Structure 1
Amino acid sequence: MRIHRMVYRRLVPRRMQKKIHSRLIDRPRTRMIMDMFGITDSEWSIWSKEYSGTMEMLEKKKRKFKDSKDAGSIHWRQGLHLYCLIRKLRPDDMVETGVASGYSSSIILQALSMNGNGTLHSIDYQPDNEKSKVMPKVDDVGWMVPKTLRKRWDLVIGDSKKELPLLLKRLGSNHRKAMMHDALHPCIDMFMHDSLHTYGHMYFEYETAWKHMKKHGVLLSHDIMQNSAFEDFGKSKGAKRLLIDRNFGLMVKA
């Protein structure tokens, strides 16, 4: 029986949440991801405990903004897989589109902080506060992100259609200077889409990020069931695709 995430977080004791997170190892999809990326049972157990602490911190902060029905959060199971992947892969540069309250951004930044390495580059537009259910103030994109995690955060305000190519060009330029050559140099280790979920926009973001992604880089996408963009793009690149959980998938650049 599926438990609604708000009921789960409020009624299930934290010690039980840790046990539930650890038991996910037995789920076929989780095991496939662990095997694919070489995550051991011991690593999963340790990182699950870290994640439980992160979730508790975010839920406390979320409850302070009582007008929000759902502060732009992802499902706890999706967040756990995302956290463990970042802990394992230790990306130097990760890009995400779509920030809203900064719930998933906080999960990513906490994993980077625990790694002691990496920067998250996020892109989101300035919302209309009257229409938004996840923003307490117009200028508060990412309001849930703790100040202690922001030193690893590069937040870009704007439409990803315009800002994503510019960001990747900037990161690529930095990498070229570091590598002392002029050739196009892949500059990102991970990319996550969670912005506008139309076929054209999703495909554009996948294609743009893919060109700048390092070998064995990981592309993640939320709301992949909205249309066939994720499946079509993966097939066009011959990339192995995995469904992490329901509406959240990943593919790896060979």
Structure 2
Amino acid sequence: MKNILNKAVAIIAISAALTSCSSDEVAISGTGNLDLEFDNSYGENDLLLNSQSYTTSNNEALKISTLKYIVSNIVLTKEDGTTYTYPKSQSYFIIDESDSEKRVAGLVDVPAGNYTKVTFGIGVDKTQWELGASGQGDFLATAQAAGMMWSWTAGYKFMAFEGSFTSPTVTTATDFKVHTGQTGTDYNYTEVTLTLPTNAMVRTTITPEIHIVADASKIIDGTNKFKLSESATIMGGSSLALITANLINMFSVAHVHND
């Protein structure tokens, strides 16, 4: 009798385990959506265009009027180490601080799963640009309308950072412009990989939001530091490679919402 009861308990336990696994498999099947929300800051402060003054380590006071950058080539890594590459034709977004609706890169039809990392490019990769104007799809017109092209032959602006500044030697507010992109033989495209503090749980019924902070102070006041009083316009030359290196450290993940 005791053996029969033990066998019955074992069968119930196995059945419950199988049911649990089956339910879990159902829960992470199919596709869902995922949002990358970019929250631009300056150091520890929220980025406020045209109003707030921010001081660099070189004692230059900035008022920022424009911050735009292209996010592209998004790749998501699951907890088992496998990756999902978002379709390239849909993987170009212009993040614009002046428009709250353009601070989110919305991804659709993402395979359900628990994601631990996100990788994305800043700019348009050279392989894409080499497809020519006709190979850019709708994004070429989008970039032109957003002012994120120098010209077709010169290519895309990967990032536009503009405003005015004063310094101990420049006491009258003076305009500055920092644009990255192709210059000479340097393409200046870069990629960023961020580890998530908690998994982004994509489900058919859950759209995770990965809250990414982009610290604009890193652009000219990161590992490589620049004085706008020495050059208020930075759009070419060796400086762009140094600014591109700064951009790698511009981004961090604040938190993940699984709502």
Shorter-chain TM-score range = under 0.3
Q: Which has the higher helix share?
A: 1
Q: Which has the higher contact order (CA 8 A, sep 6+)?
A: 2
Q: Larger radius of gyration, structure 1 or 2?
A: 2
Q: Which has the higher strand share?
A: 2
TM-score of the aligned structures, taking structure 2 as reference length:
0.25
